[in-house]
Amino acid sequence: MTDTLTILGLESSCDDTAAAVVRHRPGETAEILASVVAGQTALHAPFGGVVPEIAARAHAEKIDHCVEEALDKAGLTLAQIDAVAVTAGPGLIGGVLSGVMCAKGIAAGAGLPLIGVNHLAGHALTPRLTDNLAFPYLMLLVSGGHCQFLIVSGPGAFKRLGGTIDDAPGEAFDKTAKLLGLPQPGGPTVEAEAALGNPKRIAFPRPLLDRPGCDMSFSGLKTALLRARDGLIAENGGLKRVDRADLCASFQEAVADVLAEKSRRALLQYLQGGPAHPAFAVAGGVAANRRIRTALEGVTADLGVRFLAPPLALCTDNAAMIAWAGIERMRAGLTDALDLAARPRWPLDQASPAMLGSGKKGAKA
């Protein structure tokens, strides 16, 4: 298909209700005409994690307002939209259903094609939305819900090289913050505290580095952190500011070391395929961490690979990435019928064994 496409995207798989309109003319970088995200952080805050029923209700209440706002901001009506793309999984099923039902209603009512998008494909294709990046590239998705390496070689072609077998790194940051009495989300607060501390003071484990491959594990780190914290409290009769800063810095250093070494292994595997323009892209909230980003940049520089990190608003959950994945699928002739199913689990790479674990934000894949 060589025509200009303007697609409405919907996202509701976790705790952000989002709608966006993206336009793409062949040969040009895509244009985000509108991107609306309504977060639910305050609704879930008293429970220390995302409550699926509360999330589903909030999505159902907000999604049509988000769609209206996105169309208004884009200055368009449904008559000027070419298709509706929606996250059809993986994620919390009540939320996914809210989006899928809304998208089906719009598609049926306005006579538009419907496109079901895998949420992880949305993240994984974002460097093409922002930078027109050529296939194949290596992707690290690293957030509060995801952690995996993917070779992306087409709109529906993903090879998973490895991922976390338990918690995602963002969850580990959030739990660390909780254990140390720092505000949520834990990533930014632990990073700020770490800046004041000594990363070498506490020798935290580097899980799974002694084993070959690109799988990772972060759940043991929080146990180690709990023990180290309690040890310091027993020693000093309380946790001093400097101790808390050293715990944060040492924890962050362990996560950065694991991600850097596993990225190096994933890159070597990716480079074996002889990509013409080798590139490594990161997405997800944890990619905002400066220490981790510097560690990953260092690895790519050593191997002569281009490093890309899309702007944070497009790294975290949003609907522009879903609209973009919809454009890619539509150009590949991949649209869906009105019986499109909502899927709580939906691995991107069907050939790889299923990922273990299901974090506070739902299924890992």
Structure tokens at 49: 């994690």
* H/E stretch holding 65: helix 52-74
State the Cα–Cα distance between residues 138 and 179, nearest whole angstrom.
34
Angle (CA) 308 284 61, round 5°? 135
Residues 12-41 that bind ligand KG4 (CB under 6 A): 14
Residue with tokens 């484990």: 205
Residue nearest to ligand KG4 according to CB distances in the complex: 187
Of the pair 218, 280, the CB lying nearest ligand KG4 is at 218
Contact residue for ligand KG4 among 284, 326, 347, 357 (CB under 6 A)? 284
Contact in structure between 94 and 59 (CB atoms under 8 Å): yes
State the minimum distance, in angstroms, from the CB of residue 6 to Zn ion: 24
User: Could you tell me which of 15, 16, 7, 61 has the C-alpha nearest to residue 36?
Assistant: 16
Structure tokens at 256: 């950065």
Instruction: Give the contact letters, 317-336, x = binds to Zn ion (CB under 5 A), - = no.
Output: x-------------------
Contact residue for ligand KG4 among 187, 207, 347, 362 (CB under 6 A)? 187
Binding of residue 167 to Zn ion (CB under 5 A): no
Residues 288-317 that bind ligand KG4 (CB under 6 A): 288-289, 316-317
- Decide which of Zn ion, ligand KG4, none touches 204; Cβ closer than 5 to 8 Å per partner kind: none
CB atoms under 10 Å from CB of 318, counted, come to: 24
Residues 115-154 that bind ligand KG4 (CB under 6 A): 143-145
Of the pair 171, 317, the CB lying nearest Zn ion is at 317
Of the pair 104, 146, the CB lying nearest Zn ion is at 146
Give the alpha-carbon dihedral of 129, 174, 169, 150, to 10 degrees. -30
Q: In whole angstroms, how large is the CA radius of gyration of the chain?
A: 21
Residues at the contact surface with ligand KG4, assessed by CB under 6 A: 14, 143-145, 170-171, 173-174, 185-188, 191, 284-286, 288-289, 316-317, 361
Residues at the contact surface with Zn ion, assessed by CB under 5 A: 317
